[in-house]
Structure 1
Amino acid sequence: MWKLLHKLKDAVIYDADREFYAKVFPDSVAPRDLLRLRKMDHADLPRVLTIENENYEFPWSEGIFKDCFRAINYTNWVCEAPDESIVGYCIISVMAGEAHIMNISVSPRFQRQGAGRKMLEHLIEYARPRAEKIFLEVRPSNPGAIDLYRKTGFREIGVRKNYYPAKQGREDAIMFELDLVPRL
């Protein structure tokens, strides 16, 4: 039963009641709560690539995103506004009891409005029945993301030296971990 429920939840995350109440009582629902997550498909790539290029000096190529579609242990999502415009995307890999957040990115026009948190929380819930731990890396030069990860319960577990390309050579990555299995 739970597996079927998770499969259905994986297809589309949508709450029609929230959208209804937002239309009838506009101040009753936060804009973040109207965002929907759905599986990414190939038709989403132009918008996803636009967001990727807006956010990163060294963006992923279209080929990398296509590889993410082909990898059987990767799941790719887009985050949509009520008008169905894509405001962000996220990619997770789950294998051998571990989950790894590969990418979370929000359009600059929608940053600091809850889309990143919504996607992160979704990835955590997606991984919870499939993995014991979830990992990610982040640039030290991205304090907003670091703050979000810490507030969501991630803890710093190390540094990967020279992990990211940067204008002045390479930049380290801070490694974060979140336990998905409650400790007794």
Structure 2
Amino acid sequence: MEIRRLALPDATRCAELEEQLFPGDNPWPRDIFLVEFAAPHTLYLGVFDGDDLLAYGGMAMLGPRDDPEFEIHTIGVDPEHQRRGLGRVLMDQLMAAADGVDGQVFLEVRTDNEAAIAMYERFGFVRQGIRRNYYQPSGADAYTMTRPSQSERNGQ
């Protein structure tokens, strides 16, 4: 398996996976992925087995370079390859990028997605609040979670 930055041709597969993973919550179409991949302030990575995209994840850097914040936009694993640590592998890479510039990280996650919540908590994320009816059209609630910057986690 290989981890690499996602490229424009990968947008179609990401959109297919979104349809499978988030059918009731307005999954991202191919065109959104194209825009996200091309943005200068985003990092989108995929886990590949040969040419097959098994998992993807992306985040954006917000704020100034000397005091950045990051927001996880999406992370997903092909249902046939879940529970194999692929989401964790992607999070390792994304969190290393945020730690490289000492940035805090934010995300939203469905309150009923216990596997994802547990993974995020293992990475040091804590629940900050609930966003009611965040996911549409399902109306599912989301936890807002944050992970302090590396210097904050180290007490500096």
Q: Please, what TM-score do these two structures have when normalized by structure 1? A: 0.75
Matched, 1:94 2:27: no
Aligned partners of 1:156 and 1:175 also within 8 Å? yes
Where do 4+ consecutive residues of structure 1 move more than 3 Å?
none
Correspondences of 1:99-118 after superposition (within 5 Å): 99-118=70-89
CA shift, 1:36, in A, is 2.2
Distance 1:36 1:80, change over 3 A: same
Aligned partners of 1:49 and 1:62 also within 8 Å? yes
Q: Which has the higher helix share?
A: 1
**Percent of residue pairs bearing the same amino acid type:** 28
Q: Which of residues 140, 149, 156 is equivalent to 1:180?
A: 149
- Distance in structure 1 (CA, Å) of the matches to 2:149 and 2:47: 23
Tell me how large the CA RMSD over aligned residues is: 1.4
Query: Unpaired segments of 5 or more residues in structure 1?
Result: 1-34
Aligned partners of 1:117 and 1:148 also within 8 Å? yes
Indicate the structure whose relative CO is greater, using CA pairs within 8 Å and at least 6 residues apart.
Answer: 2
Matched with 1:31 is none
- Distance in structure 1 (CA, Å) of the matches to 2:30 and 2:55: 16
- Distance in structure 2 (CA, Å) of the matches to 1:130 and 1:84: 31
Residue by residue, what CA displacement relative to the aligned partner does 1:53-80 show, whole Å, maximum 9, x if unpaired? 1111121111211220232211111111
Matched with 2:37 is 69
Query: Unpaired segments of 5 or more residues in structure 2?
Result: none
Matched, 1:85 2:52: yes
Matched with 1:27 is none
- Distance in structure 1 (CA, Å) of the matches to 2:5 and 2:83: 23
